[in-house]
Amino acid sequence: MTLFRHAKSSWDDTIPRDFDRPLNKRGEKAAVTMGKWVKENGLTFDHVVASPAVRVIDTIDQFVKGTGERIDATWDRRIYLASSATLMDVLRDQSDDYKDVLMVGHNPGMEDLVFDIVPDDGSSPLRDLVWEKYPTAAIARMELDIDSWADIDRKCGKLTHFIRPRDLDAELGPEDE
């Protein structure tokens, strides 16, 4: 399972609803960069479930430019600004026909989901990086010890990848550095 936080969005005051915020230029570049990394590292998914917020749709559109692969996402409004518990419910609802799901959504739910799924027992050293910050456009990939999506629960996974845009391009690091 892979979690992908949407890329950096615009805070233009003329956009009345948070749900409608698009990506800014930096976010577009980060999403393309992450797509290229996914392709270069052979990460694959057979299903994508995502928040229908504009910034998530834009993130996926730019990510596809990097991967060169078409993505037909299932839009699930429950993901928009969801808690970890709600995100787990969304995952439990996935068909067992899917072996590797990509979920695209928002913080703090995405980072909380990593903390809930990955035990704090030293088995996943990358967990400390998530603790520092799960920035926009970051990707967390986990191996889950489950037989069915319905079985997903706390402490059932191991974090195998945590990659941030700044790990791939220093210009995509925090703006205050």
Domain membership of residue 23 (yes or no) is yes
Give every residue of the chain whose pLDDT is below 50, as ranges. 176-177
Whole-structure pTM value = 0.95
Residue 36 maps to which CATH number?
A: 3.40.50.1240
Q: 26 lies in a domain?
A: yes
pLDDT (0 to 100) of residue 89: 98
Q: Which helix (H) or strand (E) segment is 51 a member of?
A: none
pLDDT in tens, 36-83: 999 999 999 999 999 999 999 999 999 999 999 999 999 999 999 999
How many residues can be counted in the chain?
177
Domain count, the chain: 1
* CA nearest neighbour of 85 among 60, 112, 59: 112
In a domain, 177, yes or no: no
The predicted pLDDT at position 125 comes to: 87
User: What is the domain range of residue 107?
Assistant: 2-172
Nearest Cα neighbor of 7 from 135, 133, 101 is 135
Of 153, 144, 84, 155, give the one whose Cα is nearest residue 119: 155
User: Which pLDDT belongs to residue 151?
Assistant: 97
- Evaluate the omega torsion of the peptide bond into residue 108 and state whether it is cis, within 30 degrees of 0: yes
